[in-house]
């Protein structure tokens, strides 16, 4: 038995943390640093790491936990209360990028930039462009003092709905990748899966309530274990019996857990696992798969045009949705710019297409360039569209209230921990206190 995987993990964790700190200094998300770590350590640069079965399986577990955690962080009540504006912005922000991405892939294939590409690969490329990562947008808006504006609130609401619609699109496209599968059968399987998920949610929530009523506030550690079992079972059933991607099952399991009384506690136990191990391995693994020397002149031009398509499609689509809801011209531009950032979901979709054999290896490099480019350019676009604008009146929104409440809880927790640490230090050093 070889223990080289321990060295691989150590290199991945160290490099992703180091480069994550560096990219954070430039107001970019940690995912960019993780991708760069994989690129540097992989065949594209130093060739220290190579794709192994262990890393592939650990990456798959990582993406399941990422989507599971995302589901736990999604409040269905907030989705329902987002209203017409959030829904239309999200819907147009999915349909327009998907159409433009599919069309761009088709034209690139006809021009000879993507030899041998299929229509299904083009549709998958369009699906990659549907996802929005709102984290960097939130940080930029906070820096600009615009987080409480009408545009900021709409972006937050639309981002939640956008993720759900993007995952549904991924489910349809991934199911169509099966040979000889009709659209009617695909939609029927998806419908059956959601019926199964609803039935599973009733059983799981009742089981949680029974456990809580009999635990009497003790043995809290059993809840994360039971929640993870639900996640794994739904992921397995989705892939094995319904032909739906396992990450969809993980996301649905997260939604189920989010409806239980112990949701926040369970989520707090999974976030360290994701941050510590699984997320860095997943994103670094994507970078390891990329071979930059294969990026010739044509593919480089394709990557830049894909980046332009990714930004314009969100600006046009989300701006159109905002316009339909009565937003003014500059407000439409603000909403569109705020939804332009891509992140982990886009990479998850691309990796899914690669593992299914639908997307070629050559497509990964342009997609990674697009994700990184969107992360870099989104703050610039936001600063431009908000420049010279008068201070807007804060817009009341329950999503924003929840966001601020979570921030306050984090601050209070840190203060309590520091206070407790100071109290313990005082007990350990009584002589020093007397000397003072």
Tokens of 282: 């997943």
Q: Is the pTM of this model over 0.75?
A: no
**Residues spanned by the domain of 141:** 63-276+296-359+385-420
Q: CB neighbours (10 Å) of residue 246?
A: 21
| Cβ-based neighbours of 37, under 8 Å, separated by 6 or more | 12, 15, 16, 18, 19, 280, 284, 287
Q: CB neighbours (10 Å) of residue 251?
A: 29
Place of tokens 């924003």: 400
Residue among 218, 286, 327 nearest 34 (CA): 286
Distances (CA, A) of 304 to 89, 202, 297, 341: 26, 47, 11, 15
Residue 111 lies in a domain: yes
Backbone CA torsion sign across 73, 76, 81, 82: positive
Residue 269 lies in a domain: yes
Residue 182 lies in a domain: yes
Residue 78 lies in a domain: yes
pLDDT at residue 395 in the model:
47
Q: Which residues of 303-341 are buried (b: 16+ CB within 10 A; e: fewer)?
A: bebbbebbbebbbbbbbbbbbebebeeebbbbbbbbbbb
Residue 393 lies in a domain: yes
Residue 116 lies in a domain: yes
Tokens of 219: 């043995």
Residue 430 lies in a domain: no
Residue among 110, 45, 125, 168 nearest 307 (CA): 125
Residue 284 lies in a domain: no
How many alpha carbons fall within 13 Å on the CB side of residue 319?
A: 17
The CATH number of the domain holding residue 189 is: 1.20.1530
Q: CB neighbours (10 Å) of residue 239?
A: 16
Domain count, the chain: 1
pLDDT tens, the chain, 436 aa long = 678 889 999 999 999 999 888 887 876 667 778 878 888 888 878 888 888 888 888 988 988 888 888 788 776 666 565 567 888 898 999 999 999 999 999 998 888 887 777 888 888 899 999 988 766 676 667 767 776 677 877 887 787 677 778 777 877 787 777 655 566 777 788 889 889 999 999 998 888 888 888 776 666 778 899 999 999 999 999 888 887 778 888 888 998 998 888 888 888 888 888 888 888 888 888 778 776 655 567 778 888 999 999 999 999 999 999 999 888 888 899 899 989 988 777 887 888 888 888 888 778 888 888 888 887 788 788 888 887 665 544 444 454 555 455 555 555 555 655 665 566 556 555 554 454 4
Q: CB neighbours (10 Å) of residue 230?
A: 24
């Amino acid at each position: 038995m070889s223990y080289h995987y321990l060295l691989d993990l150590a290199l991945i964790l160290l490099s992703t943390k180091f480069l994550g700190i560096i990219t954070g200094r430039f107001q970019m998300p940690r995912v960019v640093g993780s991708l760069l770590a994989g690129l540097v350590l992989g065949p594209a640069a130093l060739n220290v790491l190579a794709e192994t079965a262990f890393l592939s399986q650990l990456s798959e577990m990582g993406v399941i936990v990422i989507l599971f955690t995302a589901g736990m962080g999604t409040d269905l009540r907030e989705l329902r209360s987002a209203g017409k504006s959030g829904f239309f912005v999200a819907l147009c922000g999915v349909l327009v990028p998907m159409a433009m991405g599919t069309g761009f892939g088709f034209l690139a294939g006809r021009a000879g930039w993507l030899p041998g590409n299929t229509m299904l690969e083009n549709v998958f490329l369009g699906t990659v462009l549907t996802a929005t990562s709102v984290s960097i947008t939130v940080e930029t808006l906070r820096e600009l003092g615009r987080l409480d504006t009408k545009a900021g609130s709409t972006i937050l609401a639309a981002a939640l709905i956008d993720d759900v619609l993007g995952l549904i699109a991924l489910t349809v496209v991934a199911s169509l990748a099966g040979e000889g599968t009709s659209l009617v059968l695909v939609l029927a399987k998806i419908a059956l899966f959601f019926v199964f998920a609803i039935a599973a949610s009733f059983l799981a929530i009742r089981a949680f309530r029974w456990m809580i009523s009999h635990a009497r506030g003790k043995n809290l550690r059993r809840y994360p274990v039971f929640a993870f079992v639900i996640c794994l079972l739904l992921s397995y059933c989705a892939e094995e019996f319904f032909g739906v991607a396992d990450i969809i099952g993980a996301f649905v399991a997260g939604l189920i857990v989010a409806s239980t009384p112990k949701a926040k506690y369970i989520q707090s136990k999974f976030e360290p696992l994701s941050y510590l191990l699984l997320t860095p391995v997943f994103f670094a693994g994507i970078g390891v798969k990329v071979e930059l020397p294969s990026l010739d002149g044509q593919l480089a031009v394709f990557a830049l045009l894909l980046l332009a398509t990714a930004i314009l499609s969100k600006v046009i689509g989300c701006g159109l949705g905002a316009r339909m809801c009565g937003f003014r011209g500059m407000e439409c531009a603000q909403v569109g710019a705020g939804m332009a950032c891509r992140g982990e979901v886009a990479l998850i979709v691309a990796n899914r297409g690669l593992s299914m054999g639908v997307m070629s290896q050559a497509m990964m490099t342009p997609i990674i360039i697009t994700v990184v480019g969107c992360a870099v350019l989104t703050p610039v676009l936001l600063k431009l569209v908000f420049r010279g604008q008068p201070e807007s009146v804060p817009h009341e929104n329950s999503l924003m209230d929840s966001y601020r409440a979570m921030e306050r809880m984090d601050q209070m927790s840190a203060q309590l921990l520091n206070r407790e640490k100071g109290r313990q230090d005082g007990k350990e050093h009584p002589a020093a206190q007397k000397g003072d």
